[in-house]
């Protein structure tokens, strides 16, 4: 399958090199690095990459997570933190089964799916987790749930390969379903809605971010599609126009 691995602000060249090797091991097509905090092409990283050197050298470096997943039809993030708010966490079978359930092949397009991993020291922020349509949690001990970055990637890629290569009877994969709207489209719609609701007095500046995070959670749970986001954004823009037109 056409999958990419995204590392957000990785700080360790050994980890980055190891992840490049893992991508080669499991047939991952691309590695993307969001604002890396080290030289991802230094000697240590290249040594750890082994036969993944070409993939490491071709890794895309981007400024933020939204840019990294903009072209991805489905995105799953990984969370090892106990403090993740109300963001629902799924088992690897649930999240990766959903990732594999895309009906994108019927359209003939080749847009990838993404697996997103956070910083070595603190993982993904809640706002970054909310850009992912599903969030998985590995079944590590509750007293110390956070795995080394490359180890977490290894476990997730192994589970993805197991599900993808398993027999029909053993695959925990959802029935094919339409892909959700791209993260950039949903974010743009929510930005427009925030402006409207601030203007209408429904939101206050100091609570707007928290309340709109709940709206994003709702839409992510609903797996809102691209055409539905376009409809919502059109409604928001028309309401903003109507409010302003009524003002003297």
Q: pLDDT value at position 24? A: 97
Q: pLDDT value at position 73? A: 93
Whether pLDDT at 172 is above 80: no
Torsion of CA 11, 14, 44, 47, to 10 degrees: -150
Long-range contacts of the stretch 206-209 (C-beta < 8 A, 24+): none
Q: Tokens representing 236?
A: 């928001």
Rounded to 5 degrees, φ, ψ at 90 are -120, 160
Per-residue pLDDT band for 143 (boundaries 50, 70, 90) equals confident
**Chain-centroid distance, C-alpha 44:** 27
Helix (H, G, I), strand (E, B) or coil at 119: strand
Quote the pTM value: 0.88
Q: In CATH terms, is domain 3-170 a member of 3.30.1700.10? A: no
Report how far residue 41's alpha carbon sits from residue 185's, in angstroms, rounded to the nearest whole number. 33
Whether pLDDT at 83 is above 90: no
Helix (H, G, I), strand (E, B) or coil at 30: strand
Report how far residue 225's alpha carbon sits from residue 220's, in angstroms, rounded to the nearest whole number. 10
Per-residue pLDDT band for 27 (boundaries 50, 70, 90) equals very high
Q: pLDDT value at position 107? A: 45
């Amino acid at each position: 399958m056409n999958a990419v691995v995204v590392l957000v602000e990785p700080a360790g060249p050994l980890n980055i090199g190891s992840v490049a090797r893992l991508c080669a091991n499991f047939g991952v097509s691309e590695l993307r690095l969001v604002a890396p905090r080290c030289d991802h092409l230094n000697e240590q990283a290249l040594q750890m990459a082994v036969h993944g050197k070409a993939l490491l050298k071709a890794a895309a470096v981007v400024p933020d997570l939204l840019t990294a997943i903009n072209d991805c039809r489905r995105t799953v993030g990984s969370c090892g933190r106990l403090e993740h708010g109300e963001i629902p966490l799924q088992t690897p079978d649930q999240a990766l089964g959903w990732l594999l359930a895309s009906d994108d092949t019927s359209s003939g397009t080749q847009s990838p799916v993404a697996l997103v991993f956070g910083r070595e020291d603190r993982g993904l922020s809640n706002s970054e987790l909310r850009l992912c349509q599903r969030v998985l949690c590995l079944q590590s001990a509750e007293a110390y749930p956070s795995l080394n970055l490359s180890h977490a990637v290894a476990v997730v890629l192994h589970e993805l390969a197991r599900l993808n290569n398993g027999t029909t009877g053993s695959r925990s994969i959802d029935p094919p379903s339409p892909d959700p709207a791209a993260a950039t489209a949903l974010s743009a719609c929510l930005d427009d809605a925030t402006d409207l609701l601030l203007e209408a007095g429904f939101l206050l500046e100091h609570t707007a971010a928290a309340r709109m995070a709940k709206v994003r959670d709702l839409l992510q749970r609903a797996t809102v599609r691209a055409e539905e986001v376009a409809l919502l954004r059109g409604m928001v823009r028309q309401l903003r126009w109507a409010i302003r037109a009524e003002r003297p």
